[in-house]
């Protein structure tokens, strides 16, 4: 299968990515459009494209390019799952020059532990050191009150 992966923000099918994240993902349902746009503008985004140019996968990395990165919003459109797209996407992220020699890269997943383990991810080595500030209902709250997203 011919697949092309790059980080060119101009190539991203922002509408397709937004629809997937806000309507189909379990982690970003009801994501407000302005927050989505800001997230892309401030991340290293990877697009996976079929031979005809159709975007079939996506991932973004939030990073300082020196010590830390957080992998987020990884997906492959349903029609292309099971064909190795996610592995190729992860290989491109893993080999990206700006993401080498980082001290730590994190991610959160409910169901793809096997994929990420192939690229060196493991459960937290010191979970007692990690903390989070989480607002699980932020998108739903903002959707109910659209003017408060700024």
Q: How far is CA 39 from the centre of its chain?
A: 10
Domain that holds residue 10: 3-148
What does the block give as tokens for 115?
């994929």
CA-closest candidate to residue 48, choices 36, 39, 40, 57:
57
Whether the full predicted model's pTM is greater than 0.85, yes or no, is yes
pLDDT 10s digits, 14-62? 999 999 999 999 999 999 999 999 999 999 999 999 999 999 999 999 9
Query: What CATH number should be reported for the domain holding residue 59?
Result: 3.40.630.30
Q: Is pLDDT above 90 for 137?
A: no
What does the block give as tokens for 146?
């659209």
Q: What is the count of structural domains for the chain?
A: 1
What pLDDT shows up at residue 53?
95
Q: Is pLDDT above 60 for 110?
A: yes
């Amino acid at each position: 299968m011919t697949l092309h992966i790059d980080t060119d923000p101009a190539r991203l099918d922002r509408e397709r990515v937004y629809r997937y994240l806000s309507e189909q993902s379990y982690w970003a349902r009801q994501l407000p459009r302005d927050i989505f746009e800001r997230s892309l503008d401030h991340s290293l985004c990877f697009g996976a494209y079929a031979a005809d140019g159709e975007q079939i996968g996506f991932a973004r990395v939030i990073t300082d390019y020196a010590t830390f990165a957080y992998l987020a919003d990884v997906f492959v459109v349903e029609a292309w799952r099971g064909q190795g797209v996610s592995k190729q996407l992860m290989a491109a992220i893993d080999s990206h020059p700006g993401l080498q020699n980082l001290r730590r890269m994190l991610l959160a997943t409910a169901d793809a532990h096997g994929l990420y383990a192939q690229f060196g991810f493991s459960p937290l080595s010191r979970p007692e050191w990690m903390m989070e500030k989480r607002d699980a209902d932020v998108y739903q709250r903002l959707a109910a009150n659209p003017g408060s997203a700024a």
